[in-house]
Amino acid sequence: MNPAASVERTLVLVKPDGVRRNLIGEIVSRIEAKGYSISALRMLDADRSMLETHYAEHVGKPFFEPLVEFMLSGPIVAMIVEGNRVIEGFRSLAGATDPTVAAPGTIRGDLARDQGTKVVQNLVHGSDSLESAKREIEIFFAGLTIERKS
């Protein structure tokens, strides 16, 4: 535990399976119920170049092309979520990558399962480090400056 950690921002995506299954509200609700705030939100159709940048670490893996195709298969929702230790906290809310073993109580554990597809469909993405968060926020919210009056 590191209680002195400062406020962070993370990039959360509701993937096409989450949008298709009408789970945007459920996912947003879990994030808000945990106490994090949403500082930006948009729905979009990602394009291949955004996804190749976003998932650059996975280029060359067998699931890479199915992953990109899946992410292109429908609209997604991108959010900037803010709070102390939110990067780690959202990944904990999301649960393990493989929804079959993701713990009950997590988004993936409660709401997703193996569909027998080449790529795991697990409803959400969350940045895994400060560096990834900064990089990924720039992909989905290029040039956005967040200013709040209060």
Catalytic hit among 15, 91, 108, 125: 125
Q: How far is the CB of 77 from ligand DAT (least distance, A)?
A: 15
How many residues touch ligand DAT under the rule CB under 6 A: the total is 9
Q: Does 63 bind ligand DAT (CB under 6 A)?
A: yes
d(CA 139, CA 133): 10
Q: How far is the CB of 141 from ligand DAT (least distance, A)?
A: 19
Residue among 122, 137, 140, 141 that touches ligand DAT (CB under 6 A): 122
Interface with ligand DAT, residue 54, by CB under 6 A: no
Q: Which of 86, 119, 133, 137 binds ligand DAT (CB under 6 A)?
A: 119
Secondary structure (3-state) at 114: coil
Q: Which amino acid, residue 138?
A: E
Closest CA relative to residue 2, chosen from 94, 89, 132, 92: 89
- Least separation, in Å, of the C-beta of 131 and ligand DAT? 14
The label of the residue with tokens 């119920």 reads 33
In the sheet with 7-14, reading across from the earlier edge strand, the strands are 37-44, 76-84, 7-14, 124-126
Nearest to residue 75, comparing CAs of 40, 47, 112, 113?
47
Q: What are the beta bridge partners of residue 9?
A: 82
Pick the closer one to ligand DAT by CB: 133 or 143.
133
Which residues are known catalytic residues? 125
Residues that bind ligand DAT (CB under 6 A): 58, 63, 67, 97, 119-120, 122, 125, 128
